[in-house]
Amino acid sequence: MSTKKSRPYKVPGAKDRLVAQREAEAAAARKRRRDSGITLLVVVAVMVGIVSLFGWYQGSRKPDAVASSTASATDTGNLTFAPVTVTDGKGLTIGVAGAPNVVTLYSDFACTHCAEFETTYGQTLANLRDSGKIDIEYWPLGFGGAGSARASNAMACAAERDPKFAVSLYDAFFANMGYDWSNDQIMSLSTQVQPTLPDGYEACVTAGTHAAWVTGIYTVAKNGASSSGTPTVYVNGNAFDLTTGSAASLEALVG
């Protein structure tokens, strides 16, 4: 019997076919990576486009409504509010001169809970303010974004010129939640609230005259009376518990 080992049988062209197969697989892998990269770029471009379009829409749309669900009595009342001075590190105190009580309100125009507070308490506070029972010390903190800060600046611009206009503007900002409040949108809203604007108001808004004041009151508030967030309310210097209180119980404290 022969002991000679047989050689493995070789299929003609097998090596070439294996090389070709591996090259095809590598090419397919490269194509998949390329296609994945293109798909990712398309997705990113679409997302950027959507974000840009939304930003353009937010910045260009005009406020539709100006009336608050809790319209102030000052719309028709023959009241004279005391002049307001914008002072670094202090809120805007608005009301008739010599009111025996002060309600201090820390809020933000981008704060949904603040808007809810206005729905629940706004009319009561307006009635108390306009009847001369309270002054309201407004702290529009402007920390909810650049638009909120611009709205806060605008309220300060309004308050030092016409306090009645300022409280109407305050109500209108909350009645139009969801805007980023560009200066153009603020001016659009302002002219709807009061067609004849106070002298110098527009320049004050567009120049951001009180931007430093907005930053300053936020710093004071977050390190002190409003460290727990917004809305925060004090009645004659005493914290008012919004978790257990009501518009009626707040009124009872100053009535």
Measured between alpha carbons, how far is 139 from 157 in angstroms, rounded to an integer?
Answer: 14
pLDDT for 24 equals 82
Q: In what order do the strands lie in the sheet with 238-240?
A: 92-94, 134-140, 101-107, 232-235, 238-240
Q: Considering the chain, what percentage of its residues have pLDDT values greater than 90?
A: 68
Measured between alpha carbons, how far is 29 from 34 in angstroms, rounded to an integer?
Answer: 9
pLDDT for 21 equals 80
If we measure between CA atoms, which residue out of 214, 182, 161, 140 comes closest to residue 56?
A: 182
Question: Model pTM?
Answer: 0.74
Residue type, 62: K
Which tokens sit at 217?
Answer: 């009151």
Q: What is the mean pLDDT of residues 189-212?
A: 97
Residue 62 has pLDDT above 60, yes or no: yes
Residue type, 202: E
Residue 51 confidence class, pLDDT cut points 50, 70, 90: very low
Give the CA-trace dihedral at 80, 94, 174, 120, to 10 degrees.
-100
Q: What is the mean pLDDT of residues 51-56?
A: 43
